[in-house]
Amino acid sequence: MAADVHSLVAAYALDALDEGEEREFEDHLAECERCREELAGLREAAAALAFATPPTTPPPELQQRILEQARSERPNVVPLHRRRRWAATLAAAAAVAVAAAVVLGIWAGSLRNSKDPFESVLSKPGSKLVAMGRYGGVAVAPDGEAVLALAVPRTASDKTYEAWVIRGGKATPAGLFHGQRGASIVKVSKPVGAGSVVAVTVEPAGGSSQPTAKPLVASGPVS
């Protein structure tokens, strides 16, 4: 049985255990470092499933209800109905070193045409969505048209984000933007050809002709 308990970690991360199994697994979890580490990663994956379902705007009064109730309570006095044990220590995940472009998807051009430049690039047959770390990515069409979708905060007024297309060690300025709440959708002003890297740096206001800082985000070479 003991060996079998490990195998419950995925079902536990998905909340797919019945109460008895859950208790059994939580007892095991308290003593098993390996399962705690594994659970941390699998929970991230399970929570990502929440993002695969279309978000829906809740009725506006729901926020009011939550805030009123929250204000009327002193925090941290009411325990959770069911205490969920979280891994006390999560393995620090290795930083992602970008060796080659991580292509998240290749679109067949089935998307409807749209005024949104990001969607419009993805609507071209054979376009790719390339990861740029945790901030988002860049959509690249076969003809080199590219649009960034990055969730980066607004820069200080004396700074700007600058996009670059880097090819053969040569960086070409490809647009300035300031960032905003949510995602910034930014057209890359230079074509992104095969073997190019798209990167973004923080530069003094007005931009630079060559990067003066280490890239904040970068794609791998686009194939």
Residues from 87 through 116 that contact other proteins (CB under 8 A)? 87-93, 95-99, 102, 104-105, 116
3-class state of residue 155 by DSSP: coil
Out of 1, 34, 78, 168, which residue is the one contacting other proteins (CB under 8 A)?
A: 78
Pick out residues in 40-69 that bind other proteins (CB under 8 A): 40-59, 62-63, 65-67, 69
Q: Which is nearer to other proteins, 116 or 145 (CB)?
A: 116
Q: How far is the CB of 209 from other proteins (least distance, A)?
A: 21
CA distance 109 to 121: 9
For other proteins, which is the closer residue by CB, 102 or 190?
102
Which runs of E-coded beta strand occur in 116-196? 128-131, 136-140, 146-150, 159-167, 170-177, 184-188
> Residue 223 in contact with residue 194, Cβ under 8 Å?
yes
80 lines the binding site for other proteins (CB under 8 A): yes
Question: Looking only at residues 116 through 155 of this chain, which bind other proteins when binding is defined by CB under 8 A?
Answer: 116, 118, 129, 131-137, 149, 151-155
Q: Provide the CA 103 distance to its chain's centre, in angstroms.
A: 14
Q: Tell me the site size for other proteins, rule CB under 8 A.
A: 102
Among candidates 204, 202, 205, which has minimal Cα distance to 215? 202
